[in-house]
Amino acid sequence: MKKIIPFLALLFLLVGCSIGETKAKLTENSVAPSQKSNTPTLFIHGYSGTTYSFKSMIKAFQRDGIAKKKSLVSVSPTGNVSFEGELSIQKDNPMIQVIFEDNKNNEWNQTEWMKKILTGLKEKGIEKVNLVGHSMGGVDIMRYLTTYRGTYVPTVEKVVLIGAPLNEFIEDSQAGDFDEVVQNGPIVYGQRYVDFANGIENVPTTIRWLMLAGDKLDGSQSDGTVPVESAVATAALLREHRNEVTTKVIEKTGHSELHESNEVNRLIAQFLWEK
């Protein structure tokens, strides 16, 4: 029988999700996407994240002419949503950066705030979106999709989860290697994973997923914060649910380095914007 691990306190959440801007570039092996659309992509930071969390990635996509930042969405500590920037969506792969002003709030409140953001975008005429989340931002996305059945919200087309602790911070050595976890799921799991498993029927089967895990290759089998197997823990659930899921380990990369990585940039650009 699988062992249930109690939910870990969020105060043990991810350190270093917010770091200074670095110069991530797409100059070497740059991606030249063959497809442009008016579907906006929302970038959702992790625990203690700021505008810097996705700033270099967004700038890299703009610098290579891959996508264009159109809007900044801020959520106040009381859940009020404000939109800044151009909201008329053209076929230039628009990007929207999401900022939670209370960036250490819990995943349940942030999930509610995500719903408010998406409802607001629907009211502004947005019909489809992509979602990219780093760390707790990825948890927020997974919890949103397993909690709500979308009605008056945009359709989610593609999701990218980067170093998201989908099975909390459990080091599940019993589950075997990376491929076994991707195919079969974890052996030891916590309440967050249980919640996702219980809500998997709410996830539209049309959503395509990319899950990226970091491995520092220092023997920890983690990015220094999130175990590799936790970052891909729900891949098997989603595949069994008939979703298309791609997984990848980014080697020699720490937790906060994942959103500063040229390799991650290329993988995301190919996944979101190439045919």
Q: Which CATH number belongs to the domain containing residue 245 in this structure?
A: 3.40.50.1820
16 domain residue, yes or no: no
* Integer CA distances (angstroms), 128 to 97, 169, 229, in order: 16, 32, 30
Print the domain residue range for 192. Answer: 40-273
4 domain residue, yes or no: no
Question: What are 99-116's pLDDT values in tens digits?
Answer: 999 999 999 999 999 999
For residue 75, how far is the Cα from the chain centroid? Answer: 18
Question: What are 244-253's pLDDT values in tens digits?
Answer: 999 999 999 9
**pLDDT exceeds cutoff 60 at 174:** yes
162 domain residue, yes or no: yes
Alpha-carbon gap, residue 153 to 149, rounded angstroms: 9
14 domain residue, yes or no: no
168 domain residue, yes or no: yes
Least confident range from 7-11, 29-33, 222-226, 271-275: namely: 7-11
Alpha-carbon gap, residue 244 to 144, rounded angstroms: 18
pLDDT at 90: 84
Question: What are 151-166's pLDDT values in tens digits?
Answer: 799 999 999 999 999 9
pTM: 0.90
22 domain residue, yes or no: no
209 domain residue, yes or no: yes
User: Which H or E run contains 246?
Assistant: strand 244-251
The total domain count for the chain is 1
Burial class of residue 44, CB neighbours in 10 A (0-12, 13-18, 19+): buried
Q: How confident is the model at residue 85 (pLDDT cuts 50, 70, 90)?
A: very high
Q: How confident is the model at residue 175 (pLDDT cuts 50, 70, 90)?
A: low
What 3 state SS string does 70-124 have? Answer: EEEEEECCCCCEEEEECCCCCCCCEEEEEEECCCCCCHHHHHHHHHHHHHHHHHC
Mean pLDDT of the chain: 88
Q: How confident is the model at residue 89 (pLDDT cuts 50, 70, 90)?
A: confident
| Nearest residue to 83 (alpha-carbon basis) of 100, 71, 70 | 71
26 domain residue, yes or no: no
pLDDT at 28: 54
